[in-house]
Structure 1
Amino acid sequence: MNTLSEVICSRSESKRGVIFISGENEEKFVSYKEIFDKSLKILYVLQSKNIKPGEQLIIYVNDNESHIYYFWACILGRIIPVPVAVGNNDENIFKLFNIMEILDSPYIVTDLKIYKMLKDFLAKKNQSYILERFQDRIIFDIDFCDVDQKGIIKQSSPDDIAFIQFSSGSTGNPKGVTLTHKNLITNINAMIEGARLVSDDIFLSWMPLTHDLGFIGFHLTPTCIDMNHYIMPTSLFIRHPILWFKKANEHRATVLASPNFGYKYFLKFFKPEKCTGWDLSCIRLIVNGAEPISYKLCKEFLNVMAELRLKSNTMFTVYGMAEACLAVTFPPIYEDLKCVYVDRRFLNVGQEVKYVNSDDDNAAEFVDLGYPVKDVYLKICDEDIRELDENIVGHIFIKGENVTKLYYNDPETTKNIITSDGWLNTGDLGIIRNGRLLVTGRAKDVHFVNGQNFYLHDIERVAEGVEGVELGEIAAACVYNKELQKEELLLFVLYKKELEEFADFAISIKKHINKQMGLEVRHVIPIRKIPKTTSGKIQRYKLSNRYEDGEFSNTVAMLETIISRKTHKNNICISRTQQELLNICEEVLGLKNIGVDDNFFEVGFNSLLLSQVVSRLDQMYPGRVQETDFFTYPTIAKLAEYIDSKESYSIKFVKLPNEYFINNFNETENKQIFKAEIDKFMLDKLIKIANSENVSIADIFVAAYIFMFSRLNNEKNIEIQTLLDSKEKVVPINLDITEIDDFNSLIKFVKAKRDQKEENEGYSVKNIKNIFIKKETGNVLPLIINRDALPKGMELINYYDVILLINEIDSSIILEFEYNYRRIKGEKAKVLINSYVNIIKFIVEKYEI
Structure 2
Amino acid sequence: MTVNPQSLKTEKPEQTAESLLKMIEELVTELRQGEPPPATLNLDTRLDQDLGFDSLARAELIQRTESQFSITLPDQTLATIETPRDLLREILQASNHHFSTLSEQTIQQIKLDVVQSAPEHVETLQQVLDWHVSTHPDRPHLYVYQDAEHVEEISYRMLKEKALQIASGLVAQDIAPGECVAIMLPTSNDYFYSFFGILYARAIPVPIYPPARPSQIEDHLKRHANILHNAQARLLITVPEAKPLSQLLRMLVPSIKTVVTLPELLHCKEKPDVGEAAKSDIAFLQYTSGSTGQPKGVTLTHDNLLHNIRAMGKVVGASSGDVFVSWLPVYHDMGLIGAWFGSLYHAIPLVIMSPLVFLSKPQRWLWAIHRHRGTLSPAPNFAYELCINKIDDSELEGLDLSSWRLSWNGAEPVSPSTIKRFTEKFAKYGFRPETMSPVYGLAESSVGLTFPNEVRLPRIEKIQREPMVRFGRAIKAADNDTDPMQVIGLGQPLPAHQIRIVDEFGRELPEREEGTLQFKGPSATQGYYHDEEKTRQLYHGDWLDTGDRAFTIGGELFLTGRTKDIIIRAGRNIYPHELEEAVCNIKGIRKGCVAAFASHDQHSGTERLIVLAESRQTDEISQQAFKQQINNLSVDLLGSPADDIVIAPPHTIPKTSSGKIRRAACKELYEQNQLDIRQRAVWQQTLRLIQAGIRPQLKRYSRILLDFGYAAYMWLVMAILAPAVWGLVAITPNRNWSWAITRFGARALIKLTGTKLTVQGEENLPKGEQPFIMVANHSSYLDGLVMTAAIDLNCRFVAKSELLKNPFARIFLSRLGAEFVERFDVQKGIIDAKRIAYSAKDNQPLCLFPEGTLYRMAGLHQFHMGAFTAATDANLPVIPVTLCGTRSKLRDKSLFPRRGDVSVTISEPIYPSGEDWSAALALRDKARGEILRHCGEPDLAHTPPMR
Alignment partners' CA distance in 2, 1:5 and 1:446 = 42
Residue type of the alignment partner of 1:429: R
Match of 1:399 in 2: 520
Residue from 450, 457, 476 that aligns with 1:355: 476
Query: Are the counterparts in 2 of residues 77 and 155 from structure 1 also a CA contact under 8 Å?
Result: no
Match of 1:18 in 2: 142
Query: Would you say 1:41 and 2:41 are equivalent positions?
Result: no
Alignment partners' CA distance in 2, 1:554 and 1:383 = 46
Cα displacement string for residues 717-751 of structure 1 (whole angstroms, at most 9, x for unaligned residues): xxxxxxxxxxxxxxxxxxxxxxxxxxxxxxxxxxx
User: What does residue range 280-291 of structure 1 map to in structure 2 within 5 Å?
Assistant: 280-291=401-412
Match of 2:825 in 1: none
Structure 1 stretches of 5 or more lacking a match? 123-127, 448-455, 457-474, 491-509, 511-518, 548-552, 563-590, 595-599, 610-849
Alignment partners' CA distance in 2, 1:432 and 1:593 = 38
Match of 1:426 in 2: 546
* CA-CA distance at 1:150 after TM superposition: 3.4
Query: Would you say 1:177 and 2:298 are equivalent positions?
Result: yes
Query: Are the counterparts in 2 of residues 478 and 487 from structure 1 also a CA contact under 8 Å?
Result: no
Match of 2:807 in 1: none
Alignment partners' CA distance in 2, 1:226 and 1:85 = 27
* CA-CA distance at 1:144 after TM superposition: 2.7
Alignment partners' CA distance in 1, 2:460 and 2:321 = 31
Cα displacement string for residues 311-354 of structure 1 (whole angstroms, at most 9, x for unaligned residues): 12100110000000011111133201110011222235963222
Residue from 163, 175, 182 that aligns with 1:51: 175
* CA-CA distance at 1:309 after TM superposition: 1.2
TM-score after normalising by structure 1 = 0.55
Alignment partners' CA distance in 1, 2:507 and 2:457 = 33
Cα displacement string for residues 266-294 of structure 1 (whole angstroms, at most 9, x for unaligned residues): 12222223222222111100010000001
Query: Are the counterparts in 2 of residues 431 and 439 from structure 1 also a CA contact under 8 Å?
Result: yes
Match of 1:32 in 2: 156
Query: Are the counterparts in 2 of residues 95 and 171 from structure 1 also a CA contact under 8 Å?
Result: no
Query: Are the counterparts in 1 of residues 499 and 517 from structure 2 also a CA contact under 8 Å?
Result: yes
Query: Are the counterparts in 2 of residues 206 and 232 from structure 1 also a CA contact under 8 Å?
Result: yes
Query: Are the counterparts in 2 of residues 183 and 325 from structure 1 also a CA contact under 8 Å?
Result: yes
* CA-CA distance at 1:139 after TM superposition: 2.5
With 189-198 and 78-87 compared, the bigger mean Cα shift is at: 78-87
User: What does residue range 244-323 of structure 1 map to in structure 2 within 5 Å?
Assistant: 244-323=365-444
Cα displacement string for residues 227-265 of structure 1 (whole angstroms, at most 9, x for unaligned residues): 211111001100011010101001000000100000011
Query: Are the counterparts in 1 of residues 623 and 647 from structure 2 also a CA contact under 8 Å?
Result: no
User: What does residue range 558-597 of structure 1 map to in structure 2 within 5 Å?
Assistant: 558=623
Cα pair distance change 1:304/1:530, threshold 3 Å: closer
Alignment partners' CA distance in 1, 2:473 and 2:425 = 37
Alignment partners' CA distance in 2, 1:33 and 1:349 = 59
With 207-216 and 328-337 compared, the bigger mean Cα shift is at: 328-337
Query: Are the counterparts in 2 of residues 398 and 423 from structure 1 also a CA contact under 8 Å?
Result: yes
Match of 1:205 in 2: 326
Residue from 102, 105, 115 that aligns with 2:230: 102
Cα displacement string for residues 640-698 of structure 1 (whole angstroms, at most 9, x for unaligned residues): xxxxxxxxxxxxxxxxxxxxxxxxxxxxxxxxxxxxxxxxxxxxxxxxxxxxxxxxxxx
* CA-CA distance at 1:422 after TM superposition: 2.3
Larger radius of gyration: 2
Residue type of the alignment partner of 1:65: N
Cα pair distance change 1:384/1:113, threshold 3 Å: same
Residue type of the alignment partner of 1:66: D
* CA-CA distance at 1:147 after TM superposition: 4.6
Alignment partners' CA distance in 1, 2:381 and 2:231 = 33
User: What does residue range 698-777 of structure 1 map to in structure 2 within 5 Å?
Assistant: none
Cα pair distance change 1:219/1:277, threshold 3 Å: same
Residue type of the alignment partner of 1:276: E
Residue from 555, 565, 572 that aligns with 1:435: 555
Cα pair distance change 1:38/1:359, threshold 3 Å: farther
Runs of 4+ residues over 4 Å off in structure 1: 475-479, 481-490, 519-525, 533-537, 553-556, 558-562, 591-594, 600-609
Cα displacement string for residues 462-506 of structure 1 (whole angstroms, at most 9, x for unaligned residues): xxxxxxxxxxxxx9976645568689999xxxxxxxxxxxxxxxx
Cα pair distance change 1:173/1:269, threshold 3 Å: closer
Match of 2:219 in 1: 91
Match of 1:193 in 2: 314
Query: Are the counterparts in 2 of residues 479 and 489 from structure 1 also a CA contact under 8 Å?
Result: no
Residue from 618, 622, 645 that aligns with 1:557: 622
Query: Are the counterparts in 1 of residues 233 and 256 from structure 2 also a CA contact under 8 Å?
Result: no
Query: Are the counterparts in 2 of residues 317 and 368 from structure 1 also a CA contact under 8 Å?
Result: yes
Cα pair distance change 1:99/1:524, threshold 3 Å: closer
Match of 2:206 in 1: 82
Residue type of the alignment partner of 2:550: G
Residue from 360, 363, 366 that aligns with 1:239: 360
Partner SS state of residue 346, structure 1? helix
Query: Would you say 1:336 and 2:457 are equivalent positions?
Result: yes
Query: Would you say 1:368 and 2:368 are equivalent positions?
Result: no
Alignment partners' CA distance in 1, 2:584 and 2:535 = 35
Alignment partners' CA distance in 2, 1:358 and 1:256 = 35
Alignment partners' CA distance in 2, 1:246 and 1:285 = 16
* CA-CA distance at 1:302 after TM superposition: 0.9
Alignment partners' CA distance in 2, 1:333 and 1:325 = 22
Aligned residues: 504
Cα pair distance change 1:135/1:481, threshold 3 Å: closer
Residue type of the alignment partner of 2:494: V
* CA-CA distance at 1:119 after TM superposition: 4.9
Cα pair distance change 1:429/1:608, threshold 3 Å: closer
Residue type of the alignment partner of 1:114: A
Cα pair distance change 1:429/1:486, threshold 3 Å: farther
Match of 1:644 in 2: none
Residue from 107, 113, 116 that aligns with 2:244: 116
Cα displacement string for residues 404-424 of structure 1 (whole angstroms, at most 9, x for unaligned residues): 1211110100111112x3211
Alignment partners' CA distance in 1, 2:408 and 2:255 = 39
Let me know the Cα RMSD of the aligned residues: 3.8
Query: Are the counterparts in 1 of residues 291 and 655 from structure 2 also a CA contact under 8 Å?
Result: no
Query: Are the counterparts in 2 of residues 379 and 398 from structure 1 also a CA contact under 8 Å?
Result: yes
Query: Are the counterparts in 1 of residues 290 and 296 from structure 2 also a CA contact under 8 Å?
Result: no
Partner SS state of residue 155, structure 1? coil
